[in-house]
């Protein structure tokens, strides 16, 4: 008995062309994001980790950006529209860094980079470079390529983030305290010879005196006393269904016009109770646009 071969419908040509274009775009054959499965992401620092000889730098609270040698992208592949003066003089090789307006300016930075047309707001930002993702070798070697470039091609809007070698845990704690007292978010530590790999890597850690997470707004609770007539606390829900209140960290303007119902917010906390509720939660900011 002979079986008739299964009849296969031809794939639509536009779908095939789109797939091939995506592959070319991702691998640098067409202008686009750097050729990587995804960005290199940090784990959280743990006290028992031996980081002597690692490199540390301030963790800048901005929007992560990728320069592919031609255009500027977000970590999720969203094409940005910087003012030409902002990117003038950047190299033809890929760079990775933070689009940063200074400490405590995350919301302003986000509003600047989200606009779809070039505008003068970009001149308030800097491209703070922390890696050269397509360069071979360890972290120190990769970053040296960027340092060499900007030594001979200085830019008003780009710089390589300084790195300091960690002597010991006490050195790390002292630097973390200094940065946080100055209004910074925390530190990043990287193994000096670490290769660039996509996804979470044990070779790069974020160091803070607190933890942070995201939750969805499910209620607005009225304030009392000086907050009478405006927001007192947000009722929020974690992904696992845990609900709790966030009552601190808001500016007067945010209490007058609080995050909308259903919005995702980032908050900081200091460990969790046995119930799973975060200890001492405090509002940090609205979660960035998913495209960023």
* Residues carrying an active site annotation: 59
DSSP the chain: --PPPPP-PPPPHHHHHHHHHHHHHHTTSSSSS-SSSS-EEEEEP-TT---TT-EEEE---SEEEEE-SS-EEETTSPBP---HHHHTT--SS-EEEEEE-STT-HHHHHHHHH-SS--GGGGG-EEEEEE-TTS-S-HHHHHHHHHHHHHHS--SSEEEPP-EE--SHHHHHHHHHHHHHTT---EEEE-TTPPP-SEEEEEEEEE-SSEEEEEEEEEEEEB-GGGBTSEEEEEEE-TTS-EEEE-SS--HHHHHSPPPTT-EEEEEES-B-TTSPBSS-EEEEEPPPTT-
């Amino acid at each position: 008995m002979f079986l008739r071969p299964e009849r296969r419908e031809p794939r639509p040509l536009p779908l095939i062309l789109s797939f091939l274009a995506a592959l070319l775009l991702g691998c640098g054959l067409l202008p686009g994001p750097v050729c990587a499965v995804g960005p290199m992401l940090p784990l959280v620092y743990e006290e028992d980790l031996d980081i002597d000889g690692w490199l540390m730098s301030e963790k800048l609270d901005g929007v992560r950006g990728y320069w592919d040698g031609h255009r500027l992208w977000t970590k999720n592949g969203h094409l940005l529209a910087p003012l030409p003066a902002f990117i003038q003089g950047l190299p033809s090789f890929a760079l990775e860094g933070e689009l940063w307006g200074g400490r405590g300016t995350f919301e302003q930075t986000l509003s600047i980079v989200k606009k779809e047309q070039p505008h003068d707001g970009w001149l308030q930002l800097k491209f703070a470079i922390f890696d050269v993702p397509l360069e071979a070798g360890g972290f120190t070697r990769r970053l040296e390529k960027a340092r060499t470039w900007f030594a001979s091609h200085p830019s008003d809007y780009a710089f390589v983030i300084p790195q300091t070698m960690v002597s010991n845990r006490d050195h790390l704690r002292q630097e973390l305290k200094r940065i946080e007292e100055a209004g910074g978010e925390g530190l990043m530590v990287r193994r000096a010879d670490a290769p660039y790999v996509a996804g979470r890597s044990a070779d790069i850690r974020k160091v803070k005196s607190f933890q942070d997470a995201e939750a969805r707004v499910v209620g607005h609770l009225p304030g009392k006393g000086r907050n009478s007539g405006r927001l007192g606390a947000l009722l929020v829900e974690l992904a696992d269904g845990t609900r709790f209140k966030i009552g601190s960290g808001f500016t007067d303007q945010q209490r007058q016009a609080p995050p909308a119902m259903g919005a995702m917010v980032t908050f900081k906390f200091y460990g969790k109770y046995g119930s799973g509720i975060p200890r001492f939660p405090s509002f940090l900011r609205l979660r960035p646009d998913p495209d960023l």
